Structure 1
Amino acid sequence: MNSSDKQFEQRVRALYQEATQSIDPVTAGRLRAVRRTALEAATAHTSPHHRARVLLPVGALAAVALAALMTWQPSPQPQADGKPQVVAVTEQENEYLPPGADKADPGLYQNLDFYSWLAANDGSQAKR
């Protein structure tokens, strides 16, 4: 601070002291109430910043944990015969599916209309 700023500050302080001594009690009470309201508002505004500073690392940690859980997959447990359990389930599901086009007899695909007619009429023949 230079000397002109210090002089200005001293003059302002002296005027403030003089004004506070000549103020009436009603105005002083209103000023105190306004000051309390301003201080409460200032402390209320600092708490969200504090919460944000705390929640940001916690949120980041939760995101990392979620990403780790999503990417981590347990290895399949082997069965008694040494094959993994997942492969056995896949083989069981595949035995109910028709064979692929490369393994199937091409003659099956020539008579698709006959097979659909047979499937539709097979239920009605069994009822008789």
Structure 2
Amino acid sequence: MTSPDEHFEQRARELWREAAQRIDPATAGRLRAARRQALETASAPAHRAVRWLIPTGAFAAIALAAMMVWQPLPQHHATSAMHAASTADDLDSELPPDADKTDPNLYQNLDFYGWLASTDSHTATR
């Protein structure tokens, strides 16, 4: 028992064989030349791609090696993280900074800072 698809395929093959028997030699030569050219064109891009694999891989290896060599040295993240945390805590606190951590020139005009603080509070209430 044959399915309709198999019957169709079988009939198409028979018609193709008949047509191939009746083709003139000039047309057959042109068809063979076109087939050869199509096969060469189809295999050529793969050959070009293979030819570029070695230089591309070498360039990637050189780039990776350069990145590894010129990478910045690791810094002490633990001490810098603790310093950043203490700086953030100092900024967030509402207490005045310790005298040993601030610029001594800030303490020259304490009266001015007191006046400025009192002026700001009066301006905010208005």
> TM range, normalised to the smaller chain?
0.3 to 0.5
**TM-score normalised by structure 1 residue count:** 0.46
**TM-score normalised by structure 2 residue count:** 0.47
